[in-house]
Amino acid sequence: MMIQKYLDSLLNEGLEEVRFRFRQRIAEDIKNRLCSLLARWEEEEYRETILFTTKEEALFYEPYAEKGIRELVVAGIRNSMLEVAASVNCKDFKMPEPLSDKKIRELTAEAIRYFSDCELRALIQEAQNTVYEDVYEAAKCKYPLAWTVLSKIALLEESEWGFDKIQEEKKRVLTEEEMRTEPKIQKVICDGFTLEFDEYLEETIREVVGGKQDAFYVDSFKALSRNIEKVLHVIQILLESDRAFVTCNYYISNGYLEKRKKILRAAHNEKEMFMNTRITGRTPKKIKEFLQIFV
């Protein structure tokens, strides 16, 4: 029982700053994410679509691991409810301060080492024999257009590809008057995991959908959210409105995709975000055109 052993030993011991009942919540969420991915590991589209959203970060983690292990750890562990304990919303877990960056790096490195030593076939079988909630399938079903387009770029071997737009019934775009009169969302502090939209994100999406901005830009997927359901939700809104989602590595729209051949590392601070916008050599044309806005 390698997954359960990890949850009971390494994870439990590594989260000593977190009260036991909250450790249990984090462990349950991680179990669901690991099992959701591993139980369907041999379904290439499903696996690669989930792992795709982690590559801007996972490919640069240490220690080195065989293909897919670092992405598995980021998707199943780093991009889990663990983020709440590492954020300003750690108060939800009755913590006086969030887990440090050093602690998060240690937890992630330990998980990579642990799962690198596990036999993949045994992990798959354990996941298939475990009772869990398939969190990724639930998100896929809620946001099918976003999932379909992400699956295309996840499996794309070239740097760019145009395809026939996927026809899906579009939701009616609100008029300016409706936008002004629509009730304001409640103020929230987003922690990188919550599914809620804060006022800044809400306003940015409105500006892109309304044509005031050319596309929705974030440095990386994790800069938007570590929760894949929220990522899919935002992309679904943009694609339904025939708008693009752009990171320093990817251009994603309904009908055209681009990806860098050499992925840039996801920024950790504002300085690194700025530097990523300046790296345009051998960059596909749409990404390059968009990044030039920041010059």
Which residue type, as a one-letter code, is found at position 223? Answer: A
**What's the pLDDT score for residue 214?**
86
Identify which of 257, 193, 248 has the alpha carbon closest to the alpha carbon of residue 219.
248
Phi-psi region at 68: left, alpha or beta (left = phi > 0; alpha = psi -120 to 50): left
Indicate if the pLDDT at residue 74 is higher than 80. Answer: yes
Average pLDDT of the segment spanning 75-97: 96
Whether residue 283 contacts residue 247, with contact meaning beta carbons closer than 8 Å, is answered with no
- Whether the link from the prior residue into 183 is cis, omega within 30° of 0, is no
Mean pLDDT of 110-123: 97
pTM exceeding 0.75: yes
Quick one: CA torsion of 232, 44, 223, 240, rounded to 10 degrees? -30
Give the per-residue pLDDT at 131: 97
Residue 78 has a pLDDT of 98
pLDDT of residue 67: 86
pLDDT tens digits for range 6-36:
999 999 999 999 999 999 999 999 999 999 9
Of how many residues is the chain composed? 295
Q: In this predicted structure, what is the pLDDT of residue 125?
A: 98
* Token pair recorded at residue 232: 């899919």
Mean pLDDT of 54-58: 97
User: Read out DSSP for 4-67?
Assistant: HHHIIIIIHHHTTTS-HHHHHHHHHHHHHHHHHHHTTTT-HHHHHHHHHTTHHHHTT-SS--ST
| First vs last C-alpha separation in the chain | 52
Residue-wise pLDDT tens digits, 262-279: 999 999 999 999 999 999
